[in-house]
Amino acid sequence: MDLHAKYPALSDLKARARRRIPHFVWEYLDSATGQEATARRNRAALDAVLLHPAALRGEVAPSLTTTFLGRDYPVPFGIAPVGMSGLIWPDAEGLLARHAAHAGIPYGLSTVATALPEVIGPIAADQGWFQMYPPKAPEIRDDMLTRAKAAGFHTLVLTVDVPAASRRERQTRGGLVQPPRLTPRLMAQVARCPAWALGIRASGMPRMRLMDSYAEGLLEKGPLPSTAHIGYLLRAAPDWDYVAALRERWDGAFILKGVTEPEIAQRAETEGVDAIWVSNHAGRQFDGAPGAAAVLPDMRAATRLPLIFDSGVEGGLDVLRALALGADFVMMGRAWHYALGALGAEGPAHWHDVLVKDMESNMAQIGARTLAEIPGRLCKSPYYDGRS
Residues paired with residue 331 on neighbouring β-strands, in sequence order: 78
What Å distances lie between residue 88 and 21, 26, 142, 170, 311, CA to CA? 7, 7, 29, 16, 19
Peptide bond just before 179 cis, omega within 30 deg: yes
The single-letter code of the amino acid at 220 is E
Q: Using CA atoms in the order 266, 267, 271, 273, what is the torsion angle rounded to 10 degrees?
A: -40
Q: What is the DSSP letter of 114?
A: S
- 128/79 Cα distance (integer angstroms): 10
What Å distances lie between residue 305 and 13, 130, 154, CA to CA? 34, 20, 18
Q: Using CA atoms in the order 225, 231, 237, 241, what is the torsion angle rounded to 10 degrees?
A: 180
Q: Are 20 and 344 in contact (CB under 8 A)?
A: no
What Å distances lie between residue 3 and 12, 333, 344, CA to CA? 10, 21, 13
Could you give the residue numbers annotated as active site? 281
Q: What is the DSSP letter of 384?
A: B
Q: What is the DSSP letter of 333?
A: S
